[in-house]
Amino acid sequence: MTAGLAAVGGQLAGGALIAADVLGLGWRACFLVNVPIGIAAVAVAGRWVPETRADRRLGIDAPSVLLLSTGLAALILPLAEGQDRGWPLWCVLALVGAVGLLAVFAWRQRRLAARGDDPLVDLALLGDRTLGVGSLLCLVLQCGVASSFFVLALTLQGGIGLSALDSGLVFTVLAAGYVATSFAAPALLARLGTGLLVGGAVVSAAGEVALALAASTIAPGSSVVPLLPGLALAGLGMGMLFGPSVTVALSRIDPRRSGECSGVVTTIQQTGGAVGVGLLGIVFAGALDDGDHAHAFAVASWCLAGQCALVGLIALGLRVRRS
């Protein structure tokens, strides 16, 4: 619940920081958010977080770190910059290089595991159906969540003309729907199993369809009221999906490997968010003919509805025990 609520609430907090213009930094003040949070986390972690230790000291393979970080950078940077720069040759070469780097990374992980060394990521873990399919679900889900926030913020500010703070306030409608279902999600997951995830995908898709149909009302100075039903549905669906998807993905792992597995899922989520923003950003920018935010938002919303349908199909491949 906390991760999804923070993602939605961050839009409001970011808008407030921009409006406050802390130290004259403008939007750059958003990067200061993590400073007090990090200090507070370090201060209380020793007292509130239980100590866990591995059976033995694990090593960190530096070449694996380099391959993974470089491969992800080569994948994400062209997606973020290619559209604005007219897809120069270096973008194409970077994408091709990303495939090669990530393939070499996977090969090295298997080689390290085969000779008894410590891989950065034990790819055998993903051979477990629940963790493997669950990780794929988290990847596709986060692609949609992060990119939907991105295009919504662009539309509210660029298409309607809201300030960053007012745009953040609109996101509270999403937050309300999210909170409404996320508190009930653990009990519903135990009772419905995979049905909760499929239902969440259906509700989210309905929200995106509603937003696509309401997009025609978007114009400078227009009201956001026609968008609110779709935003509320999208928030409800998100609450049914965000936390439960991680719970399901990690539900069958060996407790001794919980840290490793949760780290894999978190990395997959972060990668999915970055890739999703890049891909949908390309679609949105391509549909933004003559500054027509209404058309671009409609196209993006239909794409997100399709992404929700894909999430539902992936969820059908999971095995969830019901209580």
Walk along the chain (323 residues) and give the pLDDT tens digit of each residue.
Answer: 565 566 666 766 777 777 777 777 777 777 777 788 889 888 888 788 777 666 667 678 899 999 999 999 999 999 988 888 888 999 999 999 999 999 999 999 999 989 888 888 888 888 888 889 999 999 999 999 999 999 999 999 999 999 888 888 888 888 888 888 988 888 988 888 889 999 999 999 999 999 999 999 999 999 999 999 999 999 999 999 988 999 888 888 887 777 788 888 988 999 999 999 999 999 999 898 778 999 999 999 999 999 999 999 999 988 665 55
Among 274, 319, 306, 283, which residue's Cα sits nearest to residue 139?
A: 274
Residue 14 contacts by C-beta under 8 Å, 6 or more apart in sequence?
27, 30, 33, 164, 168
Q: State the sign of the Cα–Cα–Cα–Cα dihedral 33, 39, 45, 47.
A: negative
Mark whether 100 and 194 lie in a shared domain. no
CA 152, 153, 154 angle in degrees (round to 5)? Answer: 90
Query: Is there a single domain that holds both residue 223 and residue 173?
Result: yes
Based on the domain organization, do 133 and 112 belong to the same domain? no
Residues 46 and 208: their CA atoms lie apart, in Å, by: 43
Give residue 18's domain range: 2-35+128-315
Whether 205 and 268 map to the same domain: the answer is yes
Considering the domain boundaries, does residue 40 fall inside one? no
Both 113 and 132 in one domain: the answer is: no
pTM of the model: 0.85
- Cα(247)–Cα(252) distance, rounded to whole angstroms? 10
Can you tell me the distance from the alpha carbon of 137 to that of 119, in angstroms, rounded to the nearest whole number? 24
Q: Say which DSSP state 59 is in.
A: P
